[in-house]
Amino acid sequence: MHVDIGAALGSVADPGVDEDALDALDERVAAAHETIADGRAADEFGYAALNLPDRTDPQQIRDAVEPVADAEYVVTVGIGGSALGAKTITAALAADPDRHVVLDNVDPEHVERTLADLPLEETAISVVSKSGTTAETLANFLVVRQAYEDRGVDWTERTVATTGESGPLRELADEEDLPTLPLPDGVPGRFAALSTVGLVPAAIMDLDVESLLSGAGDVADDLGPSLYDTPAYAYGAVAYALEERGASVNAVMPYAERLEYFAEWFAQLWAESLGKDGRGQTPARALGATDQHSQLQLYRAGPRDKMVTVVRPRERADVPVPDPGHESLSYLAGADLGELLDAEYDATVASLSAAGRPAVELELDRLDAATLGELLYAMEAACVLVGELADVETFTQPAVEWGKRAARGLLAGDDTEETRTVADRPSYVIE
């Protein structure tokens, strides 16, 4: 992976980072790297996520999914990190990513429509919940199970469960003798894409899980004490420095349709890990070149509170544009769709730079399993680095846990601090 921070330097951008400031920040990066390295060595909670390329056993996953390896479709039942990583991987690597659908919301119309469109007898179920009590996941799983029963399909022969050592989902898996996989110890869900949590659908779809982990491992091996030698740390350090200078929004804009879900995954990683103590960049999701015709106007001419992260593979498929046969379109003659998309990418970075708006470029040699592993791992390492520099608790999510307790209490009819807060929430209705 290649990181180009030229369009984020203070000489061209406002907010921007002067090279002297980067040199000073590099000393803090070295100290943060030592903390990260020590945490990895001790397999401490959170830091253990950065050991996943070595700890995840792809054969264990392939063995567990073997009973459903003939499935034409996969439905993942999970939420947040239990679903986004898996979908990011299949969306980027599968020849037909629509074969993998995700139920990560309890919108009843969406759930009904999704299940109605699936040939359940050809569809594997991957259900993921650490506690086995996550309300959204368990409710959706019960609905999925009922749909299989209603159509006369044995759901127990189609299901793989990834869960903790105890809890209702574990008990159900044991009762029904379902294939199960453990969750990695000490790894928050949003950091678990490169584990059993994220790799089950990829294994069912026979994607190159081994290369994905190998690519991530290459980045892990190259983590070092200087941002100048470590692309992942360069990205994290610049994002941190830009936030310190007023860039409170990080707009992530992949120039590859197959990376659209990557922006979704990044948004959870960045927001849930770093949004604490009154700080943290708000991740915005865009898609190049589509959003050049919508959001770019704001990024170039709106408030100076944003950095833009653009992402692209350097190699693309060749799809030539036919001769337009019209003088006004002669500039397209001999062009290729990939060349056009790259021109749009270059124009976006240049447009932002010309307006003095910071941008950081992330480039992959190509988009395959190994480079996707590099990208996912690098962003996780960058996120952990930002947490160290900002002195926040990167691996916790107290606001999320509060919401979970409130939802469970409301469903159960309990009288708790959370349910009372919900009942007393402010209201000013205009009809």
Q: What is the chain's alpha carbon radius of gyration, rounded to the nearest angstrom?
A: 23
Q: Is 306 a catalytic residue?
A: no
- Region class of 43: left (phi > 0), else alpha (psi between -120 and 50), else beta: left
Neighbours of 9 (CB within 10 A): 17
Active site residue 100: no
Residue 95: exposed, middle, or buried by beta-carbon count in 10 A (0-12, 13-18, 19+)? exposed
For the purposes of burial, counting CB atoms within 10 Å of the CB of 3, is it exposed (0-12), middle (13-18) or buried (19 or more)? buried
Q: Chain-centre distance of CA 332, in angstroms?
A: 35
Query: Where does residue 266 rank: exposed (0-12), middle (13-18), buried (19+ CB within 10 A)?
Result: buried
User: Rounded distance, CA 206 to CA 200, Å?
Assistant: 10
Residue 165, beta-bridge partner list? none
DSSP E strand stretches across 178-328: 180-182, 249-254, 282-285, 306-313
The residue behind tokens 């960049």 is: 281
Nearest to 258 by CA among 381, 411, 364, 170: 364
Which burial class, exposed, middle or buried, applies to 377 when counting CB atoms under 10 A from its CB (0-12, 13-18, 19+)? buried
Sign of dihedral through CA atoms 131, 136, 137, 138? positive
Element (H, E) at 73: strand 73-77
Distance CA 412, CA 392 (A): 33
Catalytic residue among 210, 257, 363, 404: 404
Q: Pick the catalytic residue from 272, 361, 374, 380.
A: 272
Catalytic residue among 293, 326, 327, 431: 293
Strand spans (E) along 121-276: 123-129, 159-163, 180-182, 249-254
**Could you confirm whether 404 is annotated as catalytic?**
yes
The number of beta carbons lying within 10 Å of the beta carbon of residue 271 is: 16
Residues designated as active site: 272, 293, 404
